[in-house]
């Protein structure tokens, strides 16, 4: 059985090659088995948020390999990554961005609307 998450020597470099380049991830390797609970801790600026963005398919590594349930994430299209974010992976942002013009219920319903789930069915979930 494939690992649920596998990072192999992953780098995320902003401004690569520039004098001001930032190595947010610098050779991270990690394996997570299905059913495992993992906590990511570290000092401010250590790359925790960057790693979560990579794991959540919001960003892709500059270098290295990321396999999600055996699939090479770097080879997925934007649409396929979007489907993974919509159906497979979920996490709660530290700084959530609610749409202020919507009610709480409408903000909660929004992902279901994007999935094409009708109004009557959204209340049955």
Tell me: pLDDT of 87 over 90: no
Residue 101's φ and ψ, nearest 5 degrees, are -80, -5
Tell me: pLDDT of 13 over 90: yes
* Confidence (pLDDT) at 89: 83
Q: How many CA atoms lie within 13 A of 93 on its CB side?
A: 8
Which residues make beta-bridge pairs with 42? none
Contacts of 29 (CB under 8 A, 6+ apart): 7, 8, 9, 10
* Confidence (pLDDT) at 46: 92
* Confidence (pLDDT) at 125: 57
Q: What is the pLDDT of residues 24-76, one digit of tens each?
A: 999 999 999 998 989 889 999 899 999 999 999 999 999 999 999 999 999 99
Q: How many CA atoms lie within 13 A of 105 on its CB side?
A: 3
* Confidence (pLDDT) at 57: 92
| Domains of the chain in sequence order | 5-87 (3.40.50.300), 95-125 (no CATH)
* Confidence (pLDDT) at 1: 62
Q: 27: which DSSP letter?
A: E
Contact between 84 and 57 (Cβ < 8 Å): yes
The sheet that has 5-14: what strands, in order across it?
A: 22-32, 5-14, 63-68, 71-72
């Amino acid at each position: 059985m494939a690992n649920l998450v596998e990072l192999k020597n992953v780098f995320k470099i902003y401004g690569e090659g520039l004098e001001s380049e930032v190595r947010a991830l610098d050779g991270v390797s990690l394996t997570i088995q299905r059913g495992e609970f993992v906590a990511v801790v570290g000092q401010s600026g250590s790359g925790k948020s960057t790693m979560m963005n990579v794991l959540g398919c919001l960003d892709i590594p500059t270098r290295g390999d990321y396999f999600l349930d055996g699939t090479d994430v770097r080879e997925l299209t934007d649409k396929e990554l979007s489907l993974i974010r919509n159906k497979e992976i979920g996490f709660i942002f530290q700084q959530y961005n609610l749409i202020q013009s919507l009610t709480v219920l409408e903000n909660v319903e929004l992902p279901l609307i994007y999935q094409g789930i009708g109004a009557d069915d959204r209340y049955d979930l």
